Each structure stands twice: as structure tokens, then as C-alpha cells.
Amino acid sequence: GAVVSQHPSWVICKSGTSVKIECRSLDFQATTMFWYRQFPKQSLMLMATSNEGSKATYEQGVEKDKFLINHASLTLSTLTVTSAHPEDSSFYICSARDSPEAFFGQGTRLTVV
């Protein structure tokens, strides 16, 4: 299957700082990528849909000013957690669609201290 690479795989940051997570589709072009968040022992919650060259579409309850998404090319989408707080600590996963299948990155474990 297609490969989606996510970087970094884990990151620890201080409260109040911003963290950027990258999601790349390595062997296909993805006009649409998705960002999910997962708390321990829970399912994946869709945060936003990232569209190349246009603004992201956020799910209800997700703060767009806190979670900045940039999809600058057909192979790269980034999620920036701004002014991170301990409650933002979570597992973030991206996916890219090579229709009709969706492929997922390995995830990024964010810990805010």
C-alpha cells in the first residue's frame, strides 16, 4: 500500500510553545489529508480535513486558531499546535487518501510539560 510518513514520532515541549507535525505522502499525491487525535484507549477523533491550496475544514469543537493546518503541496500537510498546554498532550495521526483507500502515518506522541 501507499506510504504516509509522519514526523516527528514523538515530541516533548514546554507549555506555551508551539509544535509542528509533518505528514507526507511518499509515493502518491494527496489533494486531501486528514488529522486525527487519539486519547489513551479511545478511538480516533477526526479534527480536520486538509485540502491542498485551500483552507482546512475543521470538525465541530476543534479550535482552528489552536490547531493550524497548512497543506502547501500535494504531498505535505502540517499541523501546528499553538501555545500548547498539558491538555493538548495526545497522539496525533494523519492520513492521506489514495481513493478509495486511506493510509495513515505512524502517529506523533505529543507531551506538553
Partner 1 sequence: SQQGEEDPQALSIQEGENATMNCSYKTSINNLQWYRQNSGRGLVHLILIRSNEREKHSGRLRVTLDTSKKSSSLLITASRAADTASYFCAPGTGGFKTIFGAGTRLFVKA
Binding site for partner 1 (CB under 8 A): 1, 4, 6, 32, 34, 36, 42-44, 46, 49, 91, 93, 95, 97, 99-107, 109
Q: How far is the CB of 59 from partner 1 (least distance, A)?
A: 9
Q: Nearer Cβ to partner 1, position 17 or 29?
A: 29
What cell numbers appear for 14 in the block?
514546554
Pick the closer one to partner 1 by CB: 10 or 83: 10
Q: Minimal distance in Å, beta carbon 16 to partner 1?
A: 26
Q: How far is the CB of 79 from partner 1 (least distance, A)?
A: 14
CB of 97 to partner 1, least distance (A): 6
| Minimum CB distance to partner 1 smaller for 82 or for 91 | 91
> What grid cell was written down for 32?
486531501
**Alpha-carbon separation of residue 57 from 4, 51, 64, 67, 69 (angstroms):** 20, 8, 9, 11, 9
Instruction: Quote the CA–CA distance of 84 and 75 in Å, as a whole number.
Output: 26
* Residue 78 DSSP one-character state: E
Q: What share of the chain is helix, strand, coil (3-state, %, to 5)?
A: 5, 55, 40
